[in-house]
Structure 1
Amino acid sequence: MGSLRLTLCTGVLAAVAAAGPTASAADGGVSVSPSTPGPGSDLALRATGCTGTTGTAASKAFVSDVELTGGDGTLAGETRVRSMVGPGRYEVQVICGGDKSKSMKSHVTIGNASAAPSAPASPVAPVKAGGGGTAHLASVDAAATGPNTAHTVTGLVLVGAAAVAVVLRGTRRSRRTG
């Protein structure tokens, strides 16, 4: 009995989640989420009825054309609404697979601008970027981080090995020519 109740609750939850805030055009099979985006907001598009796996959606309200991908008759993509677009209804044209004869038209309604931030965005502390982010390293004591005896010994061993290699190479060449 408990599993039947769980199954029914899960089914109802899935149906409610699928019917989230979207605007759909009955004539075109294009849905937009959120249903009334504001200027500068992100937007998800979904087109049903395209037979291909790619498509393009275009509107004067979008920052750029939307590349749609998917399969099984459903294509999806994301875009952003222009930040300076005015409120109103804008046409959205979806072209399925690059074939202009297979296109759908719909509309998206842009709402009023979202509330402006109360204070302009500005840093409240120094930003750790570029050379300025390494400034705290200059305050470290140079004597504590400089070369020590281990570094000196390693350097001398490497110099000695290089000198031996040069001498051996020179003696081998002189034996071959002489």
Structure 2
Amino acid sequence: MGSLRLTLCTGALAVVALAPAAQAADGREVSVTPSTPAAGADLSLRVTGCEGRTATAVSAAFVADARLTGAGGSLAGETRVRSSIEPGPYDVKITCADVEVQGRITVAADGGGAAPASPAAPVDAGGGWTATHLSAMEPHVAGPGTGHAVTGLVLAGVAATAVVLRRSRRSREAD
């Protein structure tokens, strides 16, 4: 009976371990680059798991609301942190397709070593092919999705069932 209990506990642990992965695959996530911006710095925002092609990011830390665009559930955009803002954490609210996604940024205490927010000299931006093939530059969602998580849960359940059946067959044969 001890091995049956061990098998059931192992199966339960597998389900518990895989359940957060399924939620993360379905969940919405906000990322900020740089992760800890300084006051006055430009920053990039990315949100995954949003339906639609546009979203708006709002925060008291931003100079202006950020407009995020993209496809396939991944939206990205840029904004600037207020230069007069105090260091510390600030909430970010992203609205996409009637759904609100919450995030948080932390403004760094010292911006002395930060790079300038804009170029000091003209930048050769190129052109030609790049301007006509912008669809190739759209963000794409990478990594495992809901299907992968569900497949893992099913396989863990099948393995646990097989072990339980084998153990019960062995115990019947021993009797």
TM-score range, shorter chain: 0.3 to 0.5
TM-score (norm 2): 0.48
Larger Rg: 1
TM-score (norm 1): 0.47
